[in-house]
């Protein structure tokens, strides 16, 4: 349950309240509790964030809410859309304090996936990531993350079916707010996403992976390995690389044993990085008996000296993994035309304004 405080000069943020919290809040205003359920449905099921559009509320109640409450959805600064009906769309949002974060909508034949950010920037400094250029400003709050979801969901045709914490930031460095958001996204009385349709992507914090392992029906997990060689991984991932591949493997084993979830291993391929059959064999050896599928990602030029790999190299890695008996996902690359790699749009805006 979420709690609120009535303050003289501060509006109550309704995105911090669950359904019971909204009922309590409406009662505190001298209104009937069922209005809280109505407002909860407007926000979480219909993705309406303007009181004037909540037409089953009386005009006097809407005026009271306008005076005392707020539904602070982040402001859209820029929208970049890819070509074709299955092109990705990237949104650049401005939060209340002026910080900016990104969200990417990725449609496909069988799903509509929203990739959300969990931090303003990132402190992990991964060498191939544009967000690393920004450094870390702060963690996002659950209502801010939810706000980016609502802003996208309220402006599109169709329903978002999947949410991935794979945008700006390391989700497991902000576990509390990420899990609060997860609870709101999967609340059957609200947005109602399946718990199996929400995924957290991490570069690896073993203690936090173990925490997830102890949660009933936790989010699914993507482990961005960086490299199957510890010495290379330490160079590519200067913060996450402090945790060895073996430490991460043991934590992932606990997660898999406890949850019965299959883990996705994300392998980023660039020219000269993870682009040979030998690299595929090293990854296979590290995985061992972990229940996994492998998602091969082509590098989108963002920062550093990395270059996009040749298709022949990517296909050779995929073929070797399949030969070794692994399940491999190699999707058509999308989002390159909208700077869809994490942090690209925000970094470009930052550079353009010379901040």
pLDDT single digits (tens) 260-300: 999 999 999 999 999 999 999 999 999 999 999 999 999 98
What was the pLDDT predicted at 1? Answer: 45
Minimal CA–CA distance to 145: which of 129, 172, 122, 168?
Answer: 168
Tell me if residue 126 is catalytic: no
Given 3.40.50.2300, 3.90.230.10, 3.20.20.70, 3.40.50.720, which CATH number is that of 75-352? 3.20.20.70
Say if residue 289 is exposed, middle or buried (CB neighbours under 10 Å; 0-12, 13-18, 19+): exposed
- Averaged pLDDT score across all residues of the chain: 90
CA–CA dist 328, 345 (Å, integer): 29
**How far is CA 114 from each of CA 60, 91, 185, 246, 324, rounded to the nearest angstrom?**
36, 11, 12, 31, 32
List pLDDT tens digits, range 9-52: 589 999 999 999 999 999 999 999 999 999 999 999 999 999 99
* Catalytic site residue from 23, 102, 177, 320: 102
- Average pLDDT of the segment spanning 231-238: 95
pTM assigned to the model: 0.89
Q: Using an 8 Å Cβ cutoff, are 164 and 113 in contact?
A: yes
pLDDT more than 90, % of the chain: 82
What are the domain boundaries of the chain?
12-70, 75-352
Order of all β-strands in the sheet with 100-107: 75-81, 89-94, 100-107, 112-116, 162-165, 198-202, 220-224, 263-269, 292-298, 328-329
- Average pLDDT of the segment spanning 61-72: 97
The reply to whether CATH 1.10.150.530 applies to domain 12-70 is yes
């Amino acid at each position: 349950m979420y709690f609120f405080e009535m303050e003289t000069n501060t509006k109550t943020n309704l995105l911090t309240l669950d359904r019971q919290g909204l009922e309590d809040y409406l009662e505190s205003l001298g209104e009937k509790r069922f209005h809280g359920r109505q407002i909860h449905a407007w926000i979480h099921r219909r993705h309406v964030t303007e009181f004037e559009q909540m037409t089953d509320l009386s005009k006097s109640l809407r005026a009271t809410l306008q005076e005392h409450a707020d539904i602070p959805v982040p402001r859209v600064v820029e929208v970049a859309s890819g070509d074709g009906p299955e092109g990705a769309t990237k949104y650049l949002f401005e939060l209340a304090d002026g910080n900016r974060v990104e969200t990417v909508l990725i449609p496909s034949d069988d799903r509509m996936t929203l990739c959300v950010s969990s931090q303003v920037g990132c402190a992990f400094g991964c060498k191939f990531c544009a967000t690393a250029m920004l450094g870390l400003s702060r963690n996002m709050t659950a209502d801010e993350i939810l706000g980016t979801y609502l802003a996208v969901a309220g402006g599109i045709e169709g329903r978002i079916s999947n949410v991935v914490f794979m945008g700006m930031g390391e989700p497991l460095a902000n576990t509390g707010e990420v899990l609060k958001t997860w609870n709101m996204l999967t609340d059957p009385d609200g947005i109602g996403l399946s718990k199996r349709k929400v995924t957290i992507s991490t570069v690896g914090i073993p203690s936090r992976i173990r925490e997830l392992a102890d949660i009933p029906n936790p989010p699914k997990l993507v482990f961005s390995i960086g490299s199957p060689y510890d010495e290379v991984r330490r160079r590519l991932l200067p913060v996450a690389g402090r945790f060895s591949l073996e430490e991460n493997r043991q934590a992932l084993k606990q997660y898999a044993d406890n949850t019965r979830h299959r883990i996705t291993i994300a392998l980023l391929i660039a020219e000269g990085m993870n682009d040979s059959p030998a690299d595929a064999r090293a990854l296979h050896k590290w995985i061992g008996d972990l229940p996994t599928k492998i998602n091969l990602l082509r590098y989108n030029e963002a920062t550093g000296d990395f270059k996009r790999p040749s298709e022949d190299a990517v296909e050779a890695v995929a073929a070797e993994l399949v030969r070794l008996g692994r399940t491999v996902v190699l999707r058509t690359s999308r989002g390159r035309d909208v700077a869809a790699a994490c942090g690209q749009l925000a970094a470009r805006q930052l550079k353009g304004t010379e901040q």
